[in-house]
Structure 1
């Protein structure tokens, strides 16, 4: 029996060697599924993205407590209306690729640390990627621009001076919960700041907390993207999202 097995194996090997290279290559070609075509124009929006703000209006957003988004809107730019509260998308999201551009105000006289150009991008309204003027502005590193706030320090500081537009490209995997509401897998996030990788598939440890430790708390599903009013006239433009 052992001899027969070796012979069979040897026979298969001989047949394999008898195939032409192109025939051997064909055996590892996979033809399905065929990826859908997505148009990706230079400096444009992918054709399968949901545009959240292109300068036309604020219809994709609402106030924290509901109702029309109260922020200033001029041309292609929307700006935090200080004291009016943050805004959130009317649509809920889970796993996403998110692109947005932001600009810290140039009026920084007498301001430093967390008081300069502070805002934030909250994924599922809970998990914050910090927005801050971190150009020549010392603060605690796990609270500077592009940090996962109070959880992960960015790999580098890629900040531009206040008044210049900056970009975030965020790849986000939402947390998963089981039927009992227990955490099955945490959230993960990758962030590029001005096209520089600053967070590389880091684990989100729970909800963003100013005081205390992060915690996932109650189970939840998809939720809006939230932009924070932290009493600074931070501006945003060109926001789009792809659901993954």
Structure 2
């Protein structure tokens, strides 16, 4: 018995549009070889600058080589043996270079002699792109508002924990920063993001920054589009010291 014509046509049609059999997967199909990953030589310890880092404060490097005051002139802080110390009334210091996305290592020390309390004790700050502050403060047995203590994104995000060491002891911040991108209307397309590791302890986990740091007011109200910016170290009137600051542009 002959098959109906429409059956034959259907079989031909299915055969014509059948997908070719996929090749059997092998490991090499998902291996990417090029371009080769860039080699960076790590420091001897996590605190030492890797080979692609820019050393901003270090031994054998004058402070004025990488830093200025707010007016673009020679910084007025005390500087000896690779340690920069806030000199009351000298104002902030800021990097000559401008940065976008980066990994930043900062070592800081509050005075061994305890003077003051709350925000008046060992107060300084690290400003990312000159706008967004990671608070520096002596919070060792020193209570203050939680979103203003050491390791906070000042007045925005409290640290996950208080990882402060005692006054007079060197401490570390390792900061990963992703700069904002902006819409045509000046609002954030993607806001800034900050991760902070304080003395080896995670205290800010890829946190979204709401806007520029404000002492009074709401951060969102101050958002303005901006490009690359400096690292700023704050003069808050306390003789806080900094050393071994290096940065890797990402």
Partner of 2:113: 107
SS of alignment partner, residue 247 of structure 2: strand
Structure 1: which 5+ runs fail to align?
none
Q: Which residue number corresponds to residue 33 of structure 1?
A: 35
**Equivalent residue for 2:97?**
91
Rounded to whole Å, the distance in 1 between the matches of 2:235 and 2:76 is 11
Aligned: 1:72 with 2:101: no
Question: Residues 4 and 195 (structure 1 numbering): CA distance in 2 closer, same or farther, change over 3 Å?
Answer: farther
Gaps of 5+ in 2: 1-10
Please say which structure displays the higher CA radius of gyration.
2
3-state SS of the aligned residue for 2:104? strand
Alignment of 1:185-224 (within 5 A): 185-215=190-220, 216-224=222-230
Partner residue in 2 for 1:149: 154
Deviations 1:58-96 (Å, cap 9, x if unpaired)?
A: 110000122001100011211000111010000111111
Who is 2:187 aligned against?
Answer: 182
Pairing partner for 2:50 from 46, 49, 62: 46
Cα shift readout 1:154-176 (whole Å, capped 9, x = no counterpart)? 01111000100000000001111
May I ask how many residue pairs the two structures share in their alignment? 234
Q: Over the residues paired in the alignment, what is the CA RMSD in angstroms?
A: 1.7
Of 149, 162, 167, the match for 2:167 = 162
User: Could you tell me the TM-score, scaled by structure 1's length?
Assistant: 0.91
Normalised by the length of structure 2, the TM-score is 0.89
Q: 1: CA distance between counterparts of 2:16 and 2:93?
A: 69
Instruction: Give the drift of 1:184.
Output: 1.2
In the alignment, the residues of structure 2 paired with residue 180 and residue 188 of structure 1 have an alpha-carbon distance, to the nearest angstrom, of 20
